[in-house]
Structure 1
Amino acid sequence: MKTSPILMLALAASFAAATFNAQSADAVAKVNGVTIPQSRVDLLLKNNAAQGQPDTPELRNRIREELITREVISQEALKKGLDKSPEVTTQLEIQKQIFLVNAYLQDYFKTHPVSEDTLKKEYERQKSLLGDKEYKARHILVKQENDAKQIIAQLKKGVSFEKIAAEKSEDQGSKGRGGDLDWSAPGRYVPPFGEALKKLKKGQLTDPPVQTQFGWHVIRLDDERAYKAPGFEEVKPQIQQNLQRQTLDKLIGDLRAKAKIE
């Protein structure tokens, strides 16, 4: 399942839609009798802090001036009735929906956190998949088995692997590098590819070619070395994000399944 755009929106926003907090009664300014509450400044300060910007008197003053400017212009827009235009109405509805989505997801992950035990189990699972070796390999990807067999025959006659990869490989990401896949553990590849790679000796080709969902691969092992997985704390944030993504994909699927969509 592909990652939902809703997830990307939610993670990118860092769940910053805390606009439902109780507003402070303190006012930072009034514009034509309209109060600008302290809560707006607090929210913008929070968002800036999430981006690494410290809370300073200068920043608070800039935010205050920006909010005053927004209020002045907003009042002029209201005088012209622009809030009633279809485009503005639609944009407001979209923004409201975005904040509601983020608020819901913030609440969901607050009540359904990924436990430390779950993170460690996933780490151990991934660690076991990666193994203790990594390989430097090249491959040529084609659609038809016969094409792959012909390429193997050419390679056995001494034709350059890099040349054929550049000319014929369907893998746009590696063909420009002569099929080079750089260093990687077998567990990072789809199973048929990874299993075939582990069976090769240095300099050896896969013969027959290897079939995956992407097509037919001619693989050459260039080198191998010992691999040490990164420590748990180093990859913990990435594992947590991946598990949250999986959880959210399932949540969205469940919600859509329950909804009456016409």
Structure 2
Amino acid sequence: MTLKPARLLLALIAVVAAPAFAQNLAVVNGKPIPSSRVDAVVKQVVAAGQGQDSPQLREVIKRDLVSREVLMQEAVKQGYDKKPEVKAALDSARQAIVVNQLARDYITKNPVTDAEIKAEYDRFTKQTGDKEYHVRHILLETEAEAKAVIAKIKGGAKFEELAKGSKDTGTANNGGDLDWAAPASFPPEFAAGFTGLQKGGVSENPVKTANGFHVIKLDDTRAAKLPTLEEVKPQVADALAQKKLEEYKEQMVKKAKVQ
């Protein structure tokens, strides 16, 4: 598989600070390029599924590393490394590299456990519930307007026609259709307005949320199609790892003397 230039560039950037070993890939104007840099790039390329370790791949990487060293030397010769904007960018890149390594080491020492993943999955399934609801709504500015709409529906007016006057322009021309969703997908007060309805039922009273007053209709219900733990395990693990990192960051910030 051919490695795309943009992906190769990202891989190269990621190993700019790779440690040097005795064996060199090349020496450019007296500056050695350690072979370890090629090994590091190859490892990243293979891990990303963008290619296989081969002499051809290593030759492509070698040429790019040599070209980058030549350009780097020329840029330094012309004083680009002394420019304020370049220094600022280098400081930012250095900070990102160091902080990312700290984060990786922290997660390695404090890994997300299978028990934590299972507990988070159970919390998600409990919150989501075992049912999905096909809901429609009409959003009005005032409670009086919403009550008037409810009265019209009781008088025989079609919900879908009245929905054309909804403040929710995204659903007004589609009969107020919010499609299938779990109650957890909505604000609690909105969800409470339809979970007790029978199929085809309309809320007896306007449901107030931060957006206004809603008239809600329940089209139908069905069993929720929840993914299995194995299907979402990687995503749950990533989310929990990010949560751990966020908590660690907050702890460090609290300990710091910030003036």
Partner of 2:6: none
Residue 213 of structure 1 deviates from its aligned partner by 4.2
Q: Does 2:259 match 1:257?
A: no
Structure 1 portions without partners, runs of 5+: 1-12
Identify which range, 251-260 or 70-79, moves more after superposition. 251-260
Query: Counterpart in 2 of 1:131?
Result: 129
Q: 1:17 to 1:179 in 2, by over 3 A?
A: farther
After TM superposition, list the pairs within 5 Å mapping 1:134-213 onto structure 2: 134-142=132-140, 144-170=142-168, 172=170, 174-175=171-172, 177-213=174-210
Residue correspondences, number? 247
d(CA) in 2 for partners of 1:170, 1:254: 42
* Contact persistence 2:141–2:167 (CA under 8 A): no
Q: Structure 2: which amino acid aligns with 1:195?
A: A
CA distance in 1, matches of 2:219, 2:49: 44
Q: Relative contact order (C-alpha < 8 Å, sep 6+): which is higher?
A: 1
1:224 is aligned to 2:221? yes
Matched, 1:120 2:118: yes
Aligned partner of residue 135 in structure 1, secondary structure = strand
| Bigger Rg, which one | 2
Change in Cα spacing, 1:24 to 1:178, as seen in structure 2 (3 Å) is: farther
Deviations 1:165-203 (CA, angstroms, capped at 9, x unpaired): 45433474x456443222122233332222332201111
User: How far apart in 1 are the matches of 2:196 and 2:74?
Assistant: 72
Deviations along 1:127-180, one digit per CA (max 9) or x if unpaired, are 2222222111122344543343344344445555445545433474x4564432
Aligned partners of 2:139 and 2:167 also within 8 Å: yes
Give me the TM-score of the superposition, normalised by structure 2.
0.82
- 2:38 and 2:71 map into 1 onto residues whose CA distance is 18
Compare 41-50 and 141-150 and name the one that shifted more. Answer: 141-150
1:25-174 residue pairs with structure 2 within 5 A?
Answer: 25-54=22-51, 55-142=53-140, 144-170=142-168, 172=170, 174=171
* Gaps in structure 2 of 5+ consecutive residues: 1-9
SS in 2 for 1:197: coil
Deviates more, 1:160-169 or 1:126-135: 160-169
Task: Work out the CA distance in 1 between the residues paired with 2:180 and 2:223.
Answer: 11
Cα gap change, 1:163 to 1:119, in 2 (>3 Å) = same
1: CA distance, partners of 2:62 / 2:122: 49
% identical aligned pairs:
42
**In structure 2, how many angstroms separate the alpha carbons of the residues matched to 1:215 and 1:17?**
49
Q: How far, CA to CA, are the matches of 1:177 and 1:25 in structure 2?
A: 69
Per-residue Cα deviation, 1:188-238 (whole angstroms, up to 9, x for no partner): 333222233220111112221223344433221111112242211011122
Gap change, CA 1:261 and 1:154, over 3 Å in 2: farther
| 1:95 Cα offset (Å) | 0.6
Distance change in 2, residues 1:207/1:150 (3 Å): same
TM-score normalised by the chain length of structure 1: 0.82
Instruction: Point out the more displaced range, 111-120 or 138-147.
Output: 138-147
Specify the code of the residue in structure 1 equivalent to 2:109: T
Q: Is the 8 A contact 2:166 2:176 kept in 1?
A: no
AA aligned opposite 1:87: E
